[in-house]
C-alpha cells in the first residue's frame, strides 16, 4: 500500500503539467444585422474593465446603436441628450495612448463636451471611416479594435435614419465578453498585444 502511494505521489510530481494558453477579452456585439468582435486593449484598463463589467450586467441588452453616420461612426450604448450623457451610470477619466489611434474599426468611448474629457461609461463608438479619424486622437479614448464584423458596421452606418442620425428601425444590441486565445485571434488576422 505504501509503495503504491509512493509511486502515485512520485508520478504526480514527474508528470508534465498542463499549461493553459493565455486568453484575451473580446467584446462581442450581436445585432439584427450581424456580429461584431473586437479586442479590448490592456493599455486602457479602466475602459476595458468598465466594458467587461457592463457586459456582464447585460447593461446594453435593451439599448441600440442610436447614432450612425456613414464614413464616420456607429455609436451606441446610452442616450445622447441635450444635457450630455445623462443616462450613463458613471464617467471614466480619459486613458489617451499614442499607440491607440482612431483607425478604421477602432472602438472608442463617447463623451459630451465636458472640459475634463471624461468618457461616458456606457457610450461607445466604432470608427467607420477607412482613412481613420485623426482629429479624435487625444480627445477620445480608444480602447478596442474590431477584427471581425466591419461589414456589419458598414451595414449599420448605411441604414435609413432621421435628422439626428438615429436609425429609423432600431438596431438592438446584445453584448457580452468572450475569451479567445492568441491562436484563435490569429485565425482572424489579429495579433494580441
Q: What is the pLDDT of residues 158-193, one digit of tens each?
A: 999 999 999 999 999 999 999 999 999 999 999 998
| Rounded percentage of the chain residues whose pLDDT exceeds 70 | 85
| Residue whose C-alpha cell is 445585432 | 31
| Residue whose C-alpha cell is 439626428 | 164
SS3 for 107-137, per residue?
Answer: EEECCCCCCCCCEECCCEEEECCCCCCHHHC
| Residue whose C-alpha cell is 490569429 | 186
Sequence spans of domains, the chain:
21-187
Which sign does the torsion angle of CA 176, 177, 183, 185 carry? positive
Model pTM? 0.87
Domain 21-187 annotated CATH 1.10.357.10? no
As a whole number of angstroms, the distance between CA 12 and CA 181 comes to: 27
Out of 11-20, 61-70, 130-139, which region has the weakest mean confidence (pLDDT)?
Answer: 11-20
Amino acid at each position: 500500500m505504501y509503495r503504491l502511494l509512493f509511486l502515485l505521489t512520485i508520478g504526480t510530481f514527474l508528470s508534465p503539467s498542463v499549461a493553459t494558453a493565455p486568453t484575451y477579452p473580446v467584446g462581442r456585439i450581436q445585432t439584427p444585422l450581424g456580429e461584431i468582435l473586437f479586442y479590448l486593449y490592456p493599455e486602457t484598463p479602466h475602459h476595458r474593465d468598465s466594458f467587461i463589467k457592463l457586459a456582464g450586467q447585460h447593461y446594453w441588452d435593451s439599448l441600440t446603436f442610436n447614432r450612425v453616420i456613414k464614413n464616420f461612426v456607429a455609436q451606441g450604448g446610452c442616450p445622447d441628450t441635450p444635457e450630455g450623457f445623462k443616462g450613463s451610470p458613471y464617467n471614466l477619466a480619459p486613458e489617451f495612448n499614442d499607440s491607440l489611434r482612431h483607425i478604421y474599426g477602432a472602438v472608442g468611448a463617447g463623451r459630451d463636451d465636458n472640459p475634463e474629457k471624461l468618457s461616458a461609461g456606457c457610450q461607445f463608438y466604432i470608427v467607420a471611416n477607412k482613412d481613420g479619424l485623426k482629429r479624435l486622437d487625444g480627445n477620445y479614448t480608444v480602447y478596442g479594435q474590431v477584427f471581425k464584423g466591419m461589414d456589419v458596421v458598414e451595414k449599420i452606418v448605411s441604414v435609413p435614419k432621421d435628422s439626428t442620425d438615429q436609425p429609423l428601425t432600431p438596431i438592438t444590441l446584445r453584448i457580452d465578453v468572450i475569451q479567445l486565445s492568441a491562436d484563435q485571434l490569429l485565425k482572424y488576422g489579429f495579433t494580441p498585444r
